[in-house]
Chain A
Amino acid sequence: MMKLKAENISFSYNKKRPILKDISLSLESNQIIGLIGDSGSGKSTLCKIMAGYITNFTGDVTIDGKEISRNGFDPVQLIFQHPEKTMNPKWKMEKVLRESWIPPQDLKDTFGLKDNWLTRWPSELSGGELQRFSILRALNPQTKFIIADEISTMLDAVTQVQIWEALIKHCRANDIGILAVSHDKDLLDVICDDILYFKELNHL
């Protein structure tokens, strides 16, 4: 088991408006923790810090007490609300996926990934189809933690269940921890072991 820790995180995009102040939270690799909060309060900003997308913050992000190496494959993978924004529109899906790794067939089946999607461009697939790719892409064997920032917000309810069931099954079996950000309390109640409230974490 491993432990991902964010300690005393503070950050602002510009000096006038502080966004995060002294935020601390931790997540174990056998846990699914929910994070709920107002829009614009800084949840996505915190996610980007934990996944290494933003580096000019103060505080520490560690795994088992050690600083995370962000060179090479990052063990903390962020999945976004809008998969199409993270894919090169000039690459076919096969290449988009291969950029990270080549998942085995059974994993593709678990995520309902159809072979005839692989030859399409990102613009030719729906949000639900693309989100299956971006999750599978994040499940590289070196991944230890998944930060899921509103990943099913743009999806219909049937697809939402499919995606969460598959992701949770895989993460439980492979000892991968999940931080699930959502505004949907009903959803977090169903999928999470515990729920954190962003405004209680943020000491602004």
Chain B
Amino acid sequence: MGKLLEVNNLSISFTQYVQGLNRHDLKVISDLSIDIDESEIVAVLGSSGSGKSLLAHTILGILPYNAHVTGDVNFKGQILDQEKKEKIRGKEICLIPQSVNFLDPLMKVSQQAVGECKDDNERKEKEKRQREVFAKYGLDESVDDLYPFELSGGMARKVLLSTALLNDPDLLIADEPTPGLDAKSVEETIQDIRSLKEHGKGVLLITHEIDVALRTADRIAIFYSGYVIEINKVENFLNSENLLHPYTKALVDALPKNGFKLTEGVQPLEDVPGCPYYENCPIRLDKCQNNKPELIEHDGIMIRCFNFKETGSEEVVSEETGSEDVVSEEVVSEETGSEDVVSEEDNNEEEINDEA
């Protein structure tokens, strides 16, 4: 049996029209592969704008119309095309979206959580569970009849979470389920995610809150500028010395309780010919500028860097011997990947009635 979910060599670009007719392709995800097993929680951390939400939207088939996608998504051993994605979303695969704009502004929140029902029996059953799940998250009965604009950001997030849990999916994709939530609600979320795993489900957890990832995930994938740069075991994140990629180390050292260490630099706006971290990398080599490191396995850890330090030793592992400087995998994935131009919905990132 294969994995529950496998994403293979995914690349996404957006077609933009600059000043009228000048077409410009903006590449935002490159050669991305990731998999999730049953009873497994994989967390995704990374720079903002690195493509985390786009990955979620690809799996669900809700990318905007101007997205061009190559590579494939396998679920339970089947390739998901747009039609299949539409059929199983909200059922076998559920999304907790990052943006609370996903809530229907014209529908009371309890109705949205219950969703479509086959018959009255199912409705009664779901309404009962809806109340239980809401209550668990501290949403009292007065909240049932509110419309989305009347919710605070945190409350809206709890509604989105409850909605997804009520559908009892085999794979939950949670895109930032906890920002702005107080400690108690974060705790509830963590318990719910863990309980899915105990019931044999898979979870893709996208988050900026490393603590939440550490307390739930089996593996953590790090994204930077549209690339997976490292996939490591959870325990290695407790000490940045055990991490391989310089950006992953910077991310962990930047946590308030790990020293709030400043690392300068921002991710490139456009795909670059060499390593995406080249501009900011403290250990870069000459060849990093124009050659792309591939994602390779090292001791069960996936790493995309020519010059990473081996865990626990001072020795620098150089990749020169094995994979020769691979220039741009774009070409490769564009040929092998099944083309799949999806349309639908505007990708209205972001949310909240904060300004309402």
**In the complex, A39 Cα to B182 Cα: how many Å?**
6
24 A-B residue contacts at CB 8 Å?
A13-B150, A37-B182, A39-B158, A40-B154, A44-B153, A44-B354, A81-B352, A81-B354, A82-B351, A82-B354, A84-B350, A86-B355, A128-B49, A150-B180, A153-B180, A154-B208, A156-B46, A156-B208, A157-B208, A157-B251, A157-B255, A158-B247, A159-B47, A187-B256
Contact across chains for B254 and A157 when beta carbons are under 8 A apart: yes
Contact across chains for B251 and A80 when beta carbons are under 8 A apart: no
Contact with A along B261-284 (1 / 0, CB 8 A): 111111101000000000000000
**In the complex, A17 Cα to B262 Cα: how many Å?**
43
The residue on B at minimum CB distance from A121 is B16
Contact across chains for A162 and B262 when beta carbons are under 8 A apart: yes
A82-B350 contact, Cβ under 8 Å, with A40-B154, A128-B48: yes
How many pairs, one residue from A and one from B, have CB atoms within 8 Å of each other in the complex? 127
**In the complex, A13 Cα to B152 Cα: how many Å?**
12
> With a CB–CB cut-off of 8 A, which chain B residues contact A187?
256
Contact across chains for B152 and A161 when beta carbons are under 8 A apart: no
**Shortest CB–CB separation between residue A142 and chain B, in angstroms?**
22
**In the complex, A128 Cα to B210 Cα: how many Å?**
17
> With a CB–CB cut-off of 8 A, which chain A residues contact B179?
81, 150, 153-154
Where the two chains meet, the residues of A that have a C-beta atom closer than 8 Å to any C-beta of B are 13, 17, 37-40, 44, 80-82, 84-86, 112, 114, 116-117, 120, 123-129, 149-150, 153-162, 165, 183-184, 186-187, 189-190
Contact across chains for A158 and B47 when beta carbons are under 8 A apart: yes
**Shortest CB–CB separation between residue A74 and chain B, in angstroms?**
15
> With a CB–CB cut-off of 8 A, which chain B residues contact A161?
254, 260-263
Contact across chains for B180 and A80 when beta carbons are under 8 A apart: no
> With a CB–CB cut-off of 8 A, which chain A residues contact B355?
80, 82, 85-86
Contact across chains for B266 and A112 when beta carbons are under 8 A apart: yes
Contact across chains for A159 and B182 when beta carbons are under 8 A apart: no
> With a CB–CB cut-off of 8 A, which chain B residues contact A86?
355
B199 at the interface (CB under 8 A from A): no
The residue on A at minimum CB distance from B150 is A13
B185 at the interface (CB under 8 A from A): yes
**In the complex, A174 Cα to B247 Cα: how many Å?**
33
Return the contact of B254 from the options A17, A116, A158 (Cβ within 8 A). A158
**In the complex, A177 Cα to B257 Cα: how many Å?**
24
**Shortest CB–CB separation between residue A26 and chain B, in angstroms?**
24
B45 at the interface (CB under 8 A from A): yes
**In the complex, A162 Cα to B251 Cα: how many Å?**
12
B155 at the interface (CB under 8 A from A): yes
A39-B155 contact, Cβ under 8 Å, with A156-B46, A157-B254: yes
**Shortest CB–CB separation between residue A199 and chain B, in angstroms?**
10
Contact across chains for B48 and A159 when beta carbons are under 8 A apart: yes
**In the complex, A139 Cα to B109 Cα: how many Å?**
38
> With a CB–CB cut-off of 8 A, which chain B residues contact A156?
45-48, 208, 251
> With a CB–CB cut-off of 8 A, which chain A residues contact B234?
none
**Shortest CB–CB separation between residue B116 and chain A, in angstroms?**
28
> With a CB–CB cut-off of 8 A, which chain A residues contact B351?
82, 85
